[in-house]
């Protein structure tokens, strides 16, 4: 690991100014929150910063708040452990609490922040090997011919990496937005589904965040009465493991019928994927075992698995069905 300059930011404005400055000697300037992903990338030689801006030194950016009219607000430095243990989130946004609970290990959840989790790079052994960033190396071809068991089965013609955030699956299902602060006091709000973009080997970020911006908080709108939700992460082992897939379901119920549905699939595409055909199938109908099974089948329609990850397709289909039933009936 190369040497670098360390600076503790004292405020959001200070952090933005540091990220927009020029380091001496010249080199990339990066932000650090929990540091889980950044340290990995630095050890692997993929990121070699000249300056690291520490965001954990900013006070007041680690709060969870709920308002009946505005919904849920989670500051960027809130840890996954805080989300997991929040009684307000457990009661009102069950799928998000469950997603945070199933992310990584307890040690990681106590350090990892929601902002850093959403901004992390994909957990791909090709992307995270400095050899595949060299001139003349066809990383995409290497991935297509190599070890891709845990990679994308949708939208993988150009890049088969999958988005690595577990909470993102639930947050997209709930219609979350991210809030960004930039130079000159500029602030902007972006739907999380639009904020996340497909990863590429040649880019240094997989979101629409700009170089001198920081993510300050995530907000989730209030839920209509009768909303039910569930989350399921499928791994090969019960202990900590990278997901085969995960699914978040949010259903708005009117009597026994589904008035609105959000089904989001994680770890199967470059970004969290809406199962739109399955959602449309459910509208206006009571959920039954047969309907949930049909929705699962529709969710995997159009999948284009690679030779070594075809096993993901039937597993995803089953997980969609089970998560729908869990959301509707609390199973």
Binned at pLDDT 50, 70 and 90, residue 157 comes out as confident
Distance CA 9, CA 146 (A): 42
Residue 35, both tokens: 């540091």
Closest by alpha carbon to 264, among 249, 245, 277? Answer: 249
pLDDT at 205 (0 to 100) = 82
Domain borders along the chain are 64-120+162-220, 227-329
pLDDT at 137 (0 to 100) = 56
Query: In CATH, what number does 227-329 get?
Result: 3.30.390.50
Q: Do domains 64-120+162-220 and 227-329 have the same CATH topology?
A: no
> What percent of the chain shows pLDDT beyond 90?
78
Mean pLDDT of all residues in 15-34:
88
Residue 252, both tokens: 């708005």
Query: In CATH, what number does 64-120+162-220 get?
Result: 3.30.465.10
pLDDT at 252 (0 to 100) = 97
Angstrom CA distances, 100 to 58, 97, 143, 262, stand at 23, 5, 29, 19
Q: Summarize pLDDT for 110-152 with one digit per residue, the tens.
A: 999 999 999 998 888 888 887 776 655 566 666 667 889 999 9
How long, in residues, is the chain? 331
pTM given for the model: 0.94
CA dihedral 181, 30, 192, 179 (to 10 degrees): -10
């Amino acid at each position: 690991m190369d040497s670098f300059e360390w600076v503790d930011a004292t405020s959001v404005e200070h952090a933005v100014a540091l990220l927009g400055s020029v380091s001496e000697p010249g080199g990339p300037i990066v932000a650090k929150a929990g540091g889980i992903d950044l340290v990995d990338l630095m050890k692997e030689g993929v990121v070699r910063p000249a300056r690291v801006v520490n965001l954990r030194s900013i006070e007041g950016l680690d709060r969870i708040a709920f308002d009946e009219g505005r919904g849920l607000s989670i500051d960027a430095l809130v840890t996954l452990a805080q989300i997991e243990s929040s009684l307000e989130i457990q009661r009102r946004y069950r799928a998000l609490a469950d997603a945070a609970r199933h992310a990584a290990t307890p040690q990681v959840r106590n350090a990892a922040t929601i902002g850093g989790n959403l901004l992390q790079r994909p957990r791909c052994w090709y992307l995270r090997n400095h050899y595949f960033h060299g001139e003349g190396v066809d990383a995409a071809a290497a991935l297509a011919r190599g070890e891709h068991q845990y990679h994308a089965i949708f939208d993988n013609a150009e890049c088969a990496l999958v988005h690595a955030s577990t909470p993102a699956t639930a947050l997209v299902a709930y219609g979350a937005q991210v809030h960004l602060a930039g130079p000159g006091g500029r602030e902007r709000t972006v739907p999380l589904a639009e904020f996340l973009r497909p990863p590429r080997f040649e880019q240094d970020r997989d979101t629409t965040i700009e170089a001198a911006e920081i993510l300050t908080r995530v907000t989730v709108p209030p839920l209509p009465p009768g909303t039910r939700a569930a989350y399921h992460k499928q791994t090969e082992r019960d202990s900590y493991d990278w997901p085969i897939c995960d699914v978040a379901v949010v259903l708005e119920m009117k009597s026994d019928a589904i008035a609105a549905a959000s089904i989001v699939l994680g770890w199967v595409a470059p970004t969290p994927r809406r199962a739109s055909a399955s959602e449309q199938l459910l509208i206006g109908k009571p959920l039954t075992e047969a309907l949930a099974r049909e929705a699962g089948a529709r969710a995997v329609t159009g999948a284009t698995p690679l030779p070594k990850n075809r096993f993901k397709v039937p597993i995803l289909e089953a997980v969609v069905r089970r998560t729908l039933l869990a959301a509707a009936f609390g199973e």
